[in-house]
Structure 1
Amino acid sequence: MLARITKIENGYRATFERLLNHPVEEVWSYLTDNEKLPRWFSELRVDELREGGVIKFDMGNGTFEEMEILELKNQAVLEYTWGDDIVRFELSNQPNGCLFVLKEKITKITDHTPRDLAGWHVCLDVIHALLDGRTIDRKEEWKIWYEKYVKEIEKVTQQ
């Protein structure tokens, strides 16, 4: 399911939702455990898991971008800076697992925005697949979702 992209004050918000048949604790570990993070986002590492702490993004050239953790509620909320934007993961218990929500506050739509949204979409699908013991072809999936997000961004920016 595509993210909902809405115009908000000072930018846009993309909201991704997944209902997973796995407990919150298990899903949370994919967001915060440095053993599991690289399985779905190889460039990320948690440096300090606390409000005001740091998540590092490996730029691949020997440098790291530090992203500040703005909010942390154990097994419920992880929010951090993402360049000029903000990424927020929310987990909540459901009868058969958990609701997994990713909200990205996007300051400015650029040509790169559909690429990022397709990337987040596939990352969430990868987490879901890993939890289920499956694999997916990231590159092929990304191509499919990228085209869809190009169209979604066009719709939102023409409103």
Structure 2
Amino acid sequence: MSDFGVVLESGTVRFERLLPGPVERVWSYLTDSEKRGQWLASGPFELRVGGRTEMLFKHSQITDEAPPDAYRDMHQNGWRSTGTITRYEPQRLIAFTWGGGDEAESEVAFELAPKDGKVLLVVTHRKLGSKAEMTSVSGGWHVHLGLLEDLLTGSPRRGFWSRLQGLEAEYAARYADLPEPGARA
């Protein structure tokens, strides 16, 4: 299993991670604000279809590394994303709209399944509007999922900012020959 995300179709990226279980433990790191805040973003989720999601991405809470200048404000003050839960199957699946800032609304799904005594986490991010957004989202998911894996395995935390720029460059190269999402062939 590769750590790199893959493009499923135009505007859609998917990541897989095999994590130590049980499923209930991994689920709690997706849905509990305090636990999610240790690797992604804190904030309340109304755990039902139609429920509201709110996430505050404040990277100073997940890394001690100094951010690049372009991310300094987000690092210290945070960036808020709100959405609506579109699918909800406890301990198995949660999907929600993802919005905020100038970006069009996209959708993220977290799916869990037992596999080989561990838990397979599949993250699918759909409706990404450009290759630049796909690149940014892919680098971000790659780094954040690494932090989740470190938490669940008890490993020392990987770098965040020190890894992000290189990963975004790698994803830009991987996506270079793809057409822009929504472009006609």
TM-score, scaled to structure 1:
0.86
Q: 1: CA distance between counterparts of 2:78 and 2:168?
A: 28
Q: 1: CA distance between counterparts of 2:36 and 2:112?
A: 16
The 10-residue stretch of structure 1 (19-28 or 120-129) with the greater mean CA deviation from structure 2: 19-28
Q: 2: CA distance between counterparts of 1:101 and 1:47?
A: 19
Whether contact under 8 Å (1:91, 1:98) holds in the other structure is: yes
- Indicate yes or no: 2:149 matched with 1:147: no
Instruction: Please state whether the residue corresponding to 2:46 is helix, strand or coil.
Output: coil
Q: What's 1:99 paired with?
A: 120
The 10-residue stretch of structure 1 (103-112 or 115-124) with the greater mean CA deviation from structure 2: 103-112
- Indicate yes or no: 2:140 matched with 1:119: yes
Instruction: Please state whether the residue corresponding to 1:156 is helix, strand or coil.
Output: coil
Compare the two structures and name the one with the higher strand fraction.
1
The alignment of Structure 1 onto Structure 2 pairs a total of residues equal to 155
Whether contact under 8 Å (2:131, 2:175) holds in the other structure is: no
Unaligned runs of 5+ in 2: 58-73, 100-104
Pick from 87, 92, 95 the counterpart of residue 79 of structure 1: 95
The 10-residue stretch of structure 1 (67-76 or 104-113) with the greater mean CA deviation from structure 2: 104-113
- Alpha-carbon shift at residue 13 of structure 1 (Å): 1.4
- Alpha-carbon shift at residue 62 of structure 1 (Å): 9.0
Q: 2: CA distance between counterparts of 1:116 and 1:34?
A: 21
Whether contact under 8 Å (1:6, 1:156) holds in the other structure is: no
Q: What's 2:66 paired with?
A: none
Which amino acid in the other structure matches residue 138 of structure 1?
Answer: F
- Alpha-carbon shift at residue 66 of structure 1 (Å): 2.4
TM-score, scaled to structure 2:
0.75
Pick from 110, 116, 131 the counterpart of residue 152 of structure 2: 131
Pick from 42, 47, 50 the counterpart of residue 48 of structure 2: 50
Pick from 3, 6, 22 the counterpart of residue 4 of structure 1: 6
Whether contact under 8 Å (1:5, 1:152) holds in the other structure is: no
Residues 62 and 31 of structure 1, relative CA distance in 2, 3 Å threshold: closer
- Alpha-carbon shift at residue 136 of structure 1 (Å): 1.0
Q: 2: CA distance between counterparts of 1:63 and 1:17?
A: 25
Which amino acid in the other structure matches residue 51 of structure 1?
Answer: V
